[in-house]
Amino acid sequence: MSLRASVTDRGAVLLGRNVACDAFEESKVLRVVTHAHADHMVGLRQSLKACKKVLMTKATKDIIDVMRSPLFLLGGFVETLEYGQSMQFDGEHITFFKADHILGAAQVLVEDFEGKRIVFTGDFRIDGTPILESDVLVIEATYGSPACRRSFGTDVKDLLASLVEKGLKQGAVYVFGYHGKLQEVMQILREAGFDVPFLAPERVFQISKVCENHGMRIGRLMLLTEPENEKILKSNTPCIVFYHMGSKNNVGLNNFRVLISGWEFGSAIRQTDVNEYVVALSDHSDFNGLLEYVRRSKPQYVITDNSRVSNGESLAKEIRKSLGIPAEALPKRDFS
């Protein structure tokens, strides 16, 4: 069974005869990009050159066009596939299903020539992700350690809104997060009724526009580089400024700061400085959520993705122990 799927050292998730997801693999002619996070676009330039087809959702394509350049994907044969839509290739059927992670994220089902169902979850959060039944399941393992169990409930959104409200009393609130997550926060705050100006630098702005085009509700967002918008910031009018996490040490150092992170398990909000808080808003399932997916997917064999984080071993161990399903972590890591 395990021969039907594997994960390479480079992080390519191999499904059936033809498909390599999320990293380049020269023996496979179809490349899938499950979503537009950097660790899932490994060797994409090589795949564009070498593969017969590169598959992704339209939303993922639009995000990559912004993050790289619209010319980048023109370097190969990109075909967009929507959720529920199947493609046939060499006797196998490839179908994408929604993964609740960032805009455009997909799970991949390959039905091989014998009708076996080989599934790769990609990155996902269990709440909004349909569970696919499988014969062989490859599952992400970001929070695949028993230490990664969230002890708090799902009221994080309300807590986030209260925190931002408190910050706005002092003026501008800076929110730092990763692409995709930032836009989710924008939508949460709009839904909570915040109507103060939202500002963002160029890249965040463009990705937000893609999210809006695909149905997210972000409302009016202003570009930070426009002179009149800079004035808003200088006057310290209450507003919310959204920056990529990579800028957290460079901007808004004297403002009220909210850092959005997934790696928080003890509490939903943690104060890290006088005016700085970390909010636990994750786009991955925790340890229990990963086990829940496996249980309901009913696979005969499980492979945990051990290439992107090192929690694959502990997740595979727990799947064998508590669910009684054969499971292994791939690639094998050398701990010597």
Residue 123 as a binder of Zn ion (CB under 5 A): the answer is yes
CB closer to Zn ion out of 25 and 123? 123
Residue where the block lists tokens 């598959």 = 55
Region binding Zn ion by CB under 5 A among candidate stretches 3-11, 123-131, 271-279, 325-333: 123-131
Token pair of 114 as six digits: 């014998």
Residue 181 as a binder of Zn ion (CB under 5 A): the answer is no
What type of residue is 77? F
Residue where the block lists tokens 């901007």 = 251
CB of 77 to Zn ion, least distance (A): 24
Residue where the block lists tokens 């808080």 = 277
For the chain, helix, strand, coil in percent to 5 are 30, 25, 45
Token pair of 137 as six digits: 């399941």
Helix and strand element counts for the chain (H, E): 8, 20
User: Cα separation of 3 and 324, whole Å?
Assistant: 20
CB of 109 to Zn ion, least distance (A): 19
Residue 305 as a binder of Zn ion (CB under 5 A): the answer is no
CB closer to Zn ion out of 37 and 61? 37
**Residue of 4, 28, 31, 37 that binds Zn ion (CB under 5 A):** 37
Region binding Zn ion by CB under 5 A among candidate stretches 1-9, 67-75, 118-126, 149-157: 118-126
- Cis ω for the linkage preceding 331 (within 30 of 0): yes
Residues in a beta bridge with 301: 136
Region binding Zn ion by CB under 5 A among candidate stretches 33-41, 53-61, 210-218, 255-263: 33-41
CB closer to Zn ion out of 167 and 312? 312
Residue 28 as a binder of Zn ion (CB under 5 A): the answer is no
Q: Give the CA distances from residue 316 to residues 67, 239, 294, in Å, rounded to whole numbers and listed in that order.
A: 34, 45, 11
Residues in a beta bridge with 217: none
CB closer to Zn ion out of 67 and 168? 67
CB closer to Zn ion out of 37 and 257? 37
Region binding Zn ion by CB under 5 A among candidate stretches 37-45, 58-66, 214-222, 260-268: 37-45
Residues at the contact surface with Zn ion, assessed by CB under 5 A: 37, 123
